Chains A and B, each alone.
Chain A
């Protein structure tokens, strides 16, 4: 019967049988040793131990994803920032909404180049929302103003 040892980095535990080792709640990163192995290895890299991890999900690769994104980021175009549209609505109609658009435009840039594509996309949608609101409010105000003026002129003020 093979005898397995594992370590938490400072202390070593064992010897255990494979059945006992299963109860120890070790992860793929836990360093393990048995005689044939020669030196300590992460449990995830030892084929004999693969059945221990059958039921536990693989590690979450989010941090890796961000690092990978970081490498490709300078070759890619960020999501639409709506900066031009935001500035236009700031100047032509609705300052507060335009400013909200511009602030979100800067958020698109900062999130994107920090590697957080999801947040960048969210900020892009937020910027679009504010420019759209500003655009329609601008048109509504102009139309209402026009109608009121016409009513005023017709009724003789």
Chain B
């Protein structure tokens, strides 16, 4: 790895550590310095990402239920995203691994993800689901 890449990764890791500390000790729900969702400010509707800052705060304090209530999509996607991240890191996967990669991260699963995001977006703005997600 060349030096430029190392610096880039170093800054990114420091940035993530700083954010982790920030989100653990400050609750975005009660602190005015955290950015608000522009989509929600403008339209009054939630976007699929609304509540993710609060969800991170609760997750870092191990309050899983509170986190799910703020943004279920975020909490449920964490294991999937971690798996995807690990698959990305494997340089020369064998045929077996590639098969699994295709099953979970291939073209069709990506379409399913898009459908889930849009469905979550619509459902969380309906009066019936509002109070849950």
Question: Across the interface, which residues of B come within 8 angstroms of A91, CB to CB?
Answer: 48-49, 52, 71, 73-74, 77
Asked if residues A92 and B105 are in contact (CB atoms below 8 Å), the reply is no
Count class of interface residues, chain A: 20 to 34
In the assembled complex, the Cα of A102 lies from the Cα of B90 at a distance in Å of 21
User: Which residues of B approach A to under 8 Å, CB–CB?
Assistant: 32-33, 35-36, 38-39, 47-49, 52, 71, 73-74, 77, 81, 84-85, 88, 90-93, 95, 98-99, 101-102, 105-107, 110-111, 113-114, 117
Q: Which of A77, A80, A83 contacts B110 (CB 8 A)?
A: A83
Question: Across the interface, which residues of A come within 8 angstroms of B52, CB to CB?
Answer: 91-92
Number of A-B contacts (CB under 8 A): 76
Q: Which of B32, B73, B74, B110 contacts A106 (CB 8 A)?
A: B110
In the assembled complex, the Cα of A122 lies from the Cα of B73 at a distance in Å of 30
Asked if residues A83 and B84 are in contact (CB atoms below 8 Å), the reply is yes
Asked if residues A75 and B95 are in contact (CB atoms below 8 Å), the reply is yes
Asked if residues B88 and A87 are in contact (CB atoms below 8 Å), the reply is no
Asked if residues A92 and B49 are in contact (CB atoms below 8 Å), the reply is yes
List CB contacts (< 8 Å) of A73-116 with chain B: 74-77, 80-81, 83-84, 87-88, 90-93, 95, 99, 102-103, 105-106, 109-110, 113
| Residues of B contacting A: mostly | helix
Question: Across the interface, which residues of B come within 8 angstroms of A83, CB to CB?
Answer: 84, 105, 110, 113
Asked if residues B106 and A74 are in contact (CB atoms below 8 Å), the reply is no
In the assembled complex, the Cα of A142 lies from the Cα of B34 at a distance in Å of 7
* A146 contacts B by Cβ under 8 Å: yes
